Amino acid sequence: MSDTETVTANEIDFACHRWGDGDRLALCLHGFPDDAGSLAPIGERLADEGFTAVAPYMRGYGPTGDAPDGDYSAAALGSDAVALATTLVDEEDLADPVLVGHDWGAVAAYSADRIDPDRFEKMATMAVPPRFAGHVFSHPRQLLRSWYIWFFQLPAKPEEYVRKRDFALIDLLWNTWSPGWDYPEERIESVKETLATGNTVENALAYYRQFVRPMALDMIRSGLPDPEDEPPIQTETLVLAGKDDGCIGPEMFAQAGDAFEADCRIARIRDAGHFMHQERPDVVGEEIATFLAD
């Protein structure tokens, strides 16, 4: 079980789960469609390794406050990660912070490195490779897998479709993205409750809109994005991919190592899809704990 608390950073009150009371900070960030409770297997495993693991509901999700400026860009997510780590380290005298990110949490991790490459000792990311936007147009199958991203750009209120029939779209995404996972009913119900809170659906879709629309404008001006335009990642990182991921295919990780100036290890998790940390918590937890505690 975790304790819950509120941490204020970047003018946002973040509702957080916490595991352990060690002297090192592990900041754990969730993605979509998910919530902070998803990181429990990782938080508990890191607590056993002497970390204080903190998993916030991301900006605009559930009990966490909306972005005061309406900013749900990758840069804002990275800024949150840096600010949360700084606040927790300073207020609680924690040391050697590390970052774990799944899905949008992984995007936040890569962005945090660009903002402050010295903030985190190490990072572990799951399910999204670095430079995804730069590579996606070279992979037609991935463009099809990413249909939901394009759907979220429609002006005809896709939020209404997300909410329909008790968030049936979430069941569809989970079943497609992790096809071998017999997920617990209480886990998906927790996510649906989070999405039903306040403006969470509108905010969650804003993540995707503020990802696609600037990219589309850049493509109009300059053509397809070049992965090499993104600065290299300078934090030592473990990148995990589920071999059965129906959201982002394993082929998208083939060039992940090119994004790093720091040391990087890429591992593919067998018998796991997009939600690998929930599907195979022992395997994924051991991979992450061994890497971060070293």
CA gap 99, 106 in Å, rounded: 9
Output the pLDDT for position 264.
97
Higher-pLDDT residue of 121 and 223 is 121
Q: Which tens digits make up the pLDDT trace of 166-191?
A: 999 999 999 999 999 999 999 999 99
Output the pLDDT for position 3.
67
Output the pLDDT for position 165.
97
CATH number of the domain encompassing residue 191: 3.40.50.1820
Residue 1 predicted with pLDDT over 60 = no
pTM over 0.85? The answer is yes
Residue 286 predicted with pLDDT over 60 = yes
Residue of 234, 237, 243 lying closest to 274 (CA atoms): 243
Higher-pLDDT residue of 271 and 225 is 271
Q: What is the mean pLDDT of the chain?
A: 95
Residue 52: strand pairing partners: 25
Q: 255: how many CB neighbours lie within 10 A of its CB?
A: 16
Residue 163 sits at the vertex; the CA angle it makes with 158 and 164, to the nearest 5 degrees, is: 95
Q: CB-based contacts of 66: which residues, under 8 Å, 6+ apart?
A: 12, 59, 60, 198, 199, 203
Output the pLDDT for position 219.
72
**% residues pLDDT > 90 (the chain):** 89
- Band of pLDDT at residue 215, cut at 50, 70 and 90: confident
Output the pLDDT for position 70.
97
The number of distinct structural domains making up the chain is 1
Provide mean pLDDT across the span 56-66. 98
Residue 226 predicted with pLDDT over 80 = no
Through-space distance between the first and last CA atoms of the chain, rounded to whole angstroms: 25
- Domain region containing 165: 3-293
Output the pLDDT for position 241.
98
